[in-house]
Amino acid sequence: MTSIKTPSTEHPTPPDSPPAAALHSGTSDLRALVLNNLRQSGIYVALVVIVALFAVLTDGVLLSPGNITNIVLQYSYILVLAIGMVILIIGGHIDLSVGSVVALTGAVSAVLVIQQGHPWWIGVVAALVVGVAVGAWHGFWVAYAGIPAFIVTLAGMLLFRGLTLRVLDNISLSPFPSEYQQVAAGFLNGLLGGQGFDAFTLLIGAIAVAGYAVSGFRTRVARIRYQQPVESFPLFVARVVLVGAVLMYFAWQLAHARGLPIVLIILAVLVLVYGLLTRRTVFGRQVYAIGGNLSAAALSGVKVRTVNFWMFVNMGFLAAVAGVIYSSRSNGAQPAAGNMFELDAIAAAFIGGAAVTGGVGTVVGAMVGGLIMAVMSNGMQLMGIDQSTQSVVKGLVLLVAVAFDVYNKRRAGTAR
Amino acid sequence: MDDTILEMRRITKTFPGVTALEDVTLAVRRGEIHAICGENGAGKSTLMKVLSGVYPSGSYDGEILFDGKPMQFRGIRDSEANGIVIIHQELALVPYLSIAENIFLGNERRGRSGLIDWNFANAEAAKLLASVGLHENPVTPVIQLGVGKQQLVEIAKALSKKVRLLILDEPTAALNDIDSAHLLDLLRALKEQGITCIMISHKLNEITAIADSTTVIRDGRAVETLDMRSDEVTQQRIIRGMVGRDLDSFYPDRESSPGDEVLRIEDWTVRHPVQDRMVVEGVGLSVRAGEVVGIAGLMGAGRTELAMSVFGRSYGRDIRGRLFVHGREVQARTVAEAIDNGIAYVTEDRKRYGLNLIDDVRRNVSAAALDRLSRLGWVNGNEEIKVAEASRKEMNIRTPSVMAVVGKLSGGNQQKVVLSKWLFTDPDVLILDEPTRGIDVGAKYEIYTIINRLVAAGKAVIVISSELPELLGMCDRIYTLAAGRITGEMPVAEATQESLMELMTKDKELVG
């Protein structure tokens, strides 16, 4: 009787030559790719359709350099919040307090910088510390006291709104020194010159495209080495070219407006870091495992409480980042700042394909979901549609997006 | 004279990409118990869902004749109106509602005022309970009943709907032997009253004991219908139909050569997590390398509780006792510590405790030992795929790809994924809790073979099982557990089903 071989992990010794033909059969590839990724690709298609729709409805104003810059500036803090929110939702939680935390962190920063005259960075650091502390507070109650996140953060929503009023003494503070304003209103431009456009922005765009292509290619090579199915080469190239073209167009438009917004750099770094965190780290895996099946995760040795705790700390941190960006953009702190932000962030995560029951969702999906909301809001504003209609449309889009998701799942569920 | 109550003719049901049923014809005589058996994924449940209207008329090809009349059910309500009631494997009772409320759920008896007359309903429920031999107050919440009694409530519920054809999907899967025997007696009694019964079951001994006919389904086709009354149909005969070949033996042979002791527990005591009672009391046992040790016990004897409390204190409180691994006393206060000490626990309920059903094979396999695939918190995804692929080959997991979602695999293949997950932690001792529950005969044999391979490689294995033949076929040594205490220990050569059963029920009688 042969002894059992436990799969070893010593070092990658990939098989020498994969059956190339089998892996590269590209005929049914496109269809399979589309079908398999309908849930994921669905939102990209939706984003493209919505962008196209509003581009036409606004006579192209939507895609004008100035307006693209504007969308980035206007919705960046929602996207930052959506990153933390989607991670919580994947883990089976929710955070209703982020709007209040945005207000509180902004208020703390404003009091220190505006009222007490400390340098701008003291405000930023203090806001982040407060955010992390708030996250730890939520994390403690959820992870260690076992109170459902819905209740804990509903309480937090009231609690931290109240603290905001207390910190601000119920008045607005304004204005921040110009360095602080740079966070949300600053641009990196003119570093390399350019004739009527900003060469630096284009360079960064080109680097991003190159990075996307190289990392995509390396993943592909690795997958082939490990005999995993990959898309056919022409399809791969088409995807890279398409994404590259969109990125370059985006950079081109920014370059013709005011250059590269600093807040976009912050956002891009966060998306990159958290994208990797969720997909490639043990922590990310454990978040998915907890959301997918809590008991099974616990019985697999996942330290559920620790992971839950850090998920909330992270949300607090990102809420503080959003708080800094928002206070910077609005150039001050107001008692009512950040109202309803939590709902936008939650909507972005769900439109982006996160599951209400947990275990499913991606950071990139949440970003696309957030962009769908952003483009819709912005487009409707450009068209002069009133607030009430905007709200109705956004509500319906959220409902339809989740209904589509549920429908897809049901179809997948019965296919056995 | 054969009076046919139900005829399903040439039923074909396809799902996108899969033909679940192909040209299945089934005839059931009035007043008989008709067993349906087949491997998991053969299409038994699909056939019953077609019959009960879960898959509405039009979503399949073929026709259904009930009492000679063609039927087109658009949903469960239609089929129930005709007296066809299905009881699913996973019981569909609402835990916090009372027995009577559950019985009349969706079928409430309204008085003249339009409100529910609970006095009448409770009285009716009491009558129904008496007819199934369940002596419980109808206002008792269902959560307070054991699984066996809940099953009886389901049957009472079916009777309340004036059932003429009762469909039971794996009715005894979760029951112990005594409850199972009780249930089978009840089915015989119902048969006397003229109720026809279709029963899906993996337990072939029950089928041979109770069924009048047996239809075998394999790969979505009805292979044959065996008349259990005239023929001398044996279990072997049914298995041959199910797998399409003879299985020489249920249990693969194994050379037994136990080595050094790997795991020992002494004086292990566990208190119930909420109630004030001991679930495990003063248990001591040991297992050696290359040895399979069985734990036999009835439901509620504390088998799973014992295993889970040892496995990183995953169950109970006030856990006391000493745990030795390779002769050295260790603390396993968390699951992570238990895993580090080379202990693996394969749960009895893989869907609830074993797998992330919405995730793929790859990530399920790596879930318990991600640290082996990661450096500084970064997971090596390619290496992970390699590991999953290796498991797939080693365990013969039948899946289109390691990227396939685990929830879509059959029970046997899911179990292999759970086993792969724990083998990847490279344990010294594996505690297998009901390792073959709810999986088909062919997959069972594969699981047994895997266990034998593990033992041959020097692992120590503890098997907890409700099926005594399984313990007798697989183990070197068997402990019996009753009411949280070890009541006996014997080498397999000295054990028989009768002697084990006697020890398993020993303490119960003392306690009363």
- Please state which of the ranges A29-43, A195-209, A396-410, B267-281 shows the lowest mean pLDDT: A29-43
Q: How many other C-beta atoms can be found within 10 angstroms of the C-beta atom of residue A276?
A: 13
Mean pLDDT of chain B: 87
Weakly modelled stretches of chain B, pLDDT under 70: 1-2, 16-18, 40-41, 231, 243-249, 299, 506-512
Residue A145 contacts B, CB cutoff 8 Å: no
Q: Do A5 and B426 touch (CB under 8 A)?
A: no
Q: State the pairing for strand pair B196-200/B165-169.
A: parallel
Which pLDDT tens digit goes with each residue over A251-300? 998 888 888 899 999 999 999 999 999 989 999 999 999 999 999 999 99
pLDDT over 60 at A97, yes or no: yes
Domain B261-342+427-511 sits in CATH 3.40.50.300: yes
Segments of A244-341 assigned E as strands: 260-261
How far does the CA of residue A28 sit from the closest CA of chain B (Å)?
15
Instruction: Give B147's contacts (C-beta < 8 A, 6+ positions apart).
Output: B91, B174, B175, B179, B299
**Res B228: pLDDT:** 84
Please choose, from the candidates B339, B348, B344, the residue with its C-alpha nearest in 3D space to the C-alpha of residue B422.
B344
Q: Do A281 and B379 touch (CB under 8 A)?
A: yes
Test mutation, B370, B409, B417, B423, chain A, max A CBs within 10 A: B370
Q: Give me A252's structure tokens.
A: 């081109």
Q: Do A7 and B421 touch (CB under 8 A)?
A: no
User: A residues 221-280 near B, CB within 8 Å?
Assistant: 222-223, 225-229, 280
Percent of chain A at pLDDT exceeding 70: 88
Residue B426 contacts A, CB cutoff 8 Å: yes
Residue B230 contacts A, CB cutoff 8 Å: no
Minimum Cα–Cα distance from B421: chain A residue: A300
Q: Do A1 and B452 touch (CB under 8 A)?
A: yes
Q: Do B454 and A5 touch (CB under 8 A)?
A: no
Each as own residue / partner, the long-range contacts of residues A194-203 (CB below 8 Å, 24 or more positions apart, any chain) are A194/A255, A196/A256, A197/A252, A197/A255, A197/A256, A198/A254, A198/A255, A198/A256, A198/A259, A198/A260, A199/A255, A200/A259, A200/A260, A201/A251, A201/A254, A201/A255, A201/A259, A201/A260, A202/A248, A202/A251, A202/A252, A202/A255
Q: B218 in helix, strand or coil?
A: strand
How would you class B471 by CB atoms within 10 Å of its CB: exposed for 0-12, middle for 13-18, buried for 19 or more?
buried
Q: How far apart are CA B376 and CA B346, in angstroms?
A: 28
Q: Do B345 and A288 touch (CB under 8 A)?
A: no
Phi-psi region of B339 (alpha: psi -120 to 50; beta: other; left: phi over 0): alpha
Q: Do B377 and A282 touch (CB under 8 A)?
A: yes
Amino acid making up residue A50? I
User: B residues 261-320 near A, CB within 8 Å?
Assistant: 311-312, 314
**Res B505: pLDDT:** 74
Contact residues, chain B, for A7 at CB < 8 Å: 386-387, 390-391, 394, 423-424
Which pLDDT tens digit goes with each residue over B413-425? 999 999 999 999 9
Q: What are phi and psi of A177, to 5 degrees?
A: -60, 160
pLDDT over 80 at A358, yes or no: yes
Predicted confidence band of residue A27 (pLDDT cuts 50, 70, 90)? very low
Which pLDDT tens digit goes with each residue over A311-357? 999 999 999 999 999 999 999 999 999 999 999 999 999 998 888 88
Q: How far apart are CA A266 and CA B153, in angstroms?
A: 60
> Which residues are registered as beta bridge partners of B15?
B18
Dihedral over Cα of A91, A96, A100, A106: its sign = positive
Which pLDDT tens digit goes with each residue over B423-448? 999 999 999 999 988 787 788 888 99
Which pLDDT tens digit goes with each residue over A150-167? 999 999 999 999 999 999
Contact residues, chain B, for A360 at CB < 8 Å: 358
Instruction: State ipTM.
Output: 0.79
Three-state SS for B338-376 is HHHCCEEEECCCHHHHHCCCCCEHHHHHHCCCHHHHEEC
Q: Do B352 and A293 touch (CB under 8 A)?
A: yes
Contact residues, chain A, for B311 at CB < 8 Å: 299
Which secondary structure element, helix H or strand E, spans residue B80, and what is its range? helix B76-81
Nearest CB to B382: which of A12, A296, A359? A12
How far does the CA of residue B326 sit from the closest CA of chain A (Å)?
20
Q: What are phi and psi of A146, to 5 degrees?
A: 75, 25
pTM of the full structure: 0.78
Tell me if domain B4-243 and domain B261-342+427-511 are identical in fold. Answer: yes
Q: Percentages helix, strand, coil for chain A, rounded to the nearest 5?
A: 75, 0, 25
Q: How far apart are CA A272 and CA A266, in angstroms?
A: 10
**Res B37: pLDDT:** 86
What's the CATH code, domain B4-243?
A: 3.40.50.300
Contact residues, chain B, for A226 at CB < 8 Å: 382, 385-386, 389
Q: Specify whether the CB–CB gap between B403 and B397 falls below 8 A.
A: no
Residue B326 exposure: Cα atoms within 13 Å on the Cβ side: 7
User: B residues 346-385 near A, CB within 8 Å?
Assistant: 347, 352-359, 363, 366-368, 370-374, 377-383, 385
Predicted confidence band of residue A34 (pLDDT cuts 50, 70, 90)? low
Which secondary structure element, helix H or strand E, spans residue B48, and what is its range? helix B44-52
Residue B406 DSSP class: G
Mean pLDDT of chain A: 86
Please choose, from the candidates A362, A335, A400, the residue with its C-alpha nearest in 3D space to the C-alpha of residue A99.
A335
**Res A38: pLDDT:** 57
How far does the CA of residue A300 sit from the closest CA of chain B (Å)?
5
pLDDT over 60 at A212, yes or no: yes
Which pLDDT tens digit goes with each residue over B161-196? 889 999 998 888 777 778 888 889 999 999 998 899
Minimum Cα–Cα distance from A224: chain B residue: B382
Contact residues, chain A, for B456 at CB < 8 Å: 1-4
User: How far separated are the first and last CA of chain A, in Å rounded?
Assistant: 36
**Res A8: pLDDT:** 41
Kindly list the domain boundaries of chain B, sorted by start residue: 4-243, 261-342+427-511, 356-426
Q: How far apart are CA A86 and CA A78, in angstroms?
A: 12
Q: How far apart are CA A375 and CA A75, in angstroms?
A: 9
Please choose, from the candidates B240, B291, B322, the residue with its C-alpha nearest in 3D space to the C-alpha of residue B428.
B291
Residue B336 contacts A, CB cutoff 8 Å: yes
**Res A17: pLDDT:** 36
Q: How far apart are CA B297 and CA B434, in angstroms?
A: 12
Nearest CB to A282: which of B311, B336, B370? B370
Q: How far apart are CA A105 and CA B314, in angstroms?
A: 40
Q: How far apart are CA B195 and CA B202, in angstroms?
A: 22
Which pLDDT tens digit goes with each residue over B298-312? 767 889 999 999 999
Three-state SS for B255-304 is CCCCCCEEEEEEEEEEECCCCCCEEEEEEEEEEECCCEEEEEECCCCCHH
How far does the CA of residue B73 sit from the closest CA of chain A (Å)?
19
Q: Which residue has the higher pLDDT, A134 or B122?
A: A134
Interhelix angle B177-192/B147-160, rounded to 10 degrees, is 20
Please choose, from the candidates A301, A316, A287, the residue with its C-alpha nearest in 3D space to the C-alpha of residue A131.
A316
**Res A334: pLDDT:** 93
How far does the CA of residue A289 sit from the closest CA of chain B (Å)?
7
**Res A335: pLDDT:** 93
**Res B508: pLDDT:** 45
Q: How far apart are CA A244 and CA A283, in angstroms?
A: 30
Nearest CB to A300: which of B368, B377, B401? B368
**Res A40: pLDDT:** 55
Nearest CB to B359: which of A14, A222, A288? A288
User: B residues 51-90 near A, CB within 8 Å?
Assistant: none
pLDDT over 60 at A36, yes or no: no
Please choose, from the candidates B55, B56, B51, the residue with its C-alpha nearest in 3D space to the C-alpha of residue B74.
B56
Each as own residue / partner, the long-range contacts of residues A196-203 (CB below 8 Å, 24 or more positions apart, any chain) are A196/A256, A197/A252, A197/A255, A197/A256, A198/A254, A198/A255, A198/A256, A198/A259, A198/A260, A199/A255, A200/A259, A200/A260, A201/A251, A201/A254, A201/A255, A201/A259, A201/A260, A202/A248, A202/A251, A202/A252, A202/A255
**Res A33: pLDDT:** 56
Starting from the edge strand earliest in sequence, which strands make up the sheet with B61-66, in order? B18-29, B4-15, B61-66, B69-71
Contact residues, chain B, for A225 at CB < 8 Å: 382
Q: B162 in helix, strand or coil?
A: coil
Please choose, from the candidates B20, B43, B21, B41, the residue with its C-alpha nearest in 3D space to the C-alpha of residue B409.
B41
Minimum Cα–Cα distance from A11: chain B residue: B383
User: Between chain A and chain B, how many beta carbons pairs sit less than 8 Å apart?
Assistant: 138
* Peptide linkage before A175 cis (omega within 30 of 0): yes
Residue A31 contacts B, CB cutoff 8 Å: no
DSSP A343-381: HHHHHHHHHTT--TTSS---HHHHHHHHHHHHHHHHHHH
How far does the CA of residue A294 sit from the closest CA of chain B (Å)?
8
How far does the CA of residue A275 sit from the closest CA of chain B (Å)?
13
Q: State the pairing for strand pair B221-227/B213-218.
A: antiparallel
Q: How far apart are CA B215 and CA B224, in angstroms?
A: 6
Q: Do B354 and A296 touch (CB under 8 A)?
A: yes
Going from the C-alpha of B318 to that of each of A379, B151, B268, B322, B380, the distances in angstroms are 62, 33, 10, 13, 39
Q: Do B355 and A296 touch (CB under 8 A)?
A: yes
Q: How far apart are CA A331 and CA A175, in angstroms?
A: 5
Contact residues, chain A, for B357 at CB < 8 Å: 292-293
Q: Give me B24's structure tokens.
A: 């299945």
Q: Specify whether the CB–CB gap between B73 and B31 falls below 8 A.
A: no
How far does the CA of residue A222 sit from the closest CA of chain B (Å)?
7
